[in-house]
Amino acid sequence: MKKDILPKLIIGVLVLTLFGSLAIPTKSNLEKEREKIANAPVDMVNVRELAIILDNKYADIEILNKIGKIEGKIVELQLQVFVATYMSDYYRIVTIPSAGIPGTLLTLYPKNIKESEYLKNLKPGHTIKIKGKIKGTLMKRIKIDPAYII
């Protein structure tokens, strides 16, 4: 019985390792994505309407489908920081919703050490200006991944 399980276990671990390594973004991929987003025109997204939709706890399917149409759009926003957390090579930043802008969850990649130091010193209430790609929504916030300081 043990002889049959061990080869399957080894193959399974190798397959998971392969998929895991392919899923992790490389530095060159991040640079290409940064360049693409930096040169892309900003899409027309009505963030004021999104703020109202995301704030509505009784949003119906039709309204939620409108949110789905924003995935992949490039946005440029000025946001107020609520929490900034350093992860190994990027930052997770949650922003404060305001009168016309919904809260966001940013996955922000610094382009150099100076920008990384700036992000490490972010405090609640600081304002940042970002450009990034909308990935969807999470807990009444817009997910923007990747995002870059501009």
Domain with residue 102: its CATH number is 2.40.50.140
DSSP H helices in 24-125: 27-39, 47-55, 61-68, 113-120
Cα separation of 50 and 100, whole Å? 9
pLDDT at res. 64? 56
Residue 139 lies in a domain: yes
57 occurs within a structural domain? yes
Confidence of residue 93 (pLDDT cuts 50, 70, 90): very high
Count helices and strands in the chain by DSSP H and E runs: 5, 5
79 within a domain of the structure (yes/no): yes
Query: Rounded mean pLDDT of 88-98?
Result: 87
Q: Report the C-alpha dihedral over residues 107, 132, 21, 141, rounded to 10 degrees.
A: 40
Residue 110 Rama label (left phi>0; alpha psi -120 to 50; beta): beta
pLDDT at 82: 92
Q: Quote the CA–CA distance of 116 and 92 in Å, as a whole number.
A: 12
Q: Band the pLDDT of 124: cuts 50, 70, 90.
A: very high
What integer pLDDT is reported at residue 32 of this predicted model? 81
Q: Across the chain, what does the average pLDDT equal?
A: 80
Average pLDDT over residues 10-22: 79
* Whether this model's pTM surpasses 0.75: no
Q: Is 96 helix (H, G, I), strand (E, B) or coil?
A: strand
132 lies in some domain: yes
- Number of domain units in the chain: 1
Binned at pLDDT 50, 70 and 90, residue 44 comes out as confident
With b meaning 16 or more CB within 10 Å and e meaning fewer, what string describes 105-143? Answer: bbbbbbeeeeebeebeebeeeeebebbbbbbebeeebbb
Instruction: Select the more confidently predicted residue: 72 or 22.
Output: 72
Q: What domain range is 76 assigned to?
A: 27-149
Q: What is the DSSP letter of 134?
A: E
Q: Is residue 14 part of a domain?
A: no
The more confident residue out of 124 and 141 is: 124
Question: Would you say residue 64 lies in a domain?
Answer: yes
Q: What is the pLDDT of residues 29-42, one digit of tens each?
A: 777 887 888 888 88
Checking if the pLDDT of 62 tops 60, the result is no
Between helices 61-68 and 47-55, what is the axis angle to 10°? 140
Bond before 146 cis per omega within 30 degrees? yes
**Average pLDDT estimate for 12-19:** 83
Q: Look at residue 116 and tell me if it is in a domain.
A: yes
Cα distance between residue 108 and residue 87, in whole Å: 10
Mean pLDDT of 122-135: 90
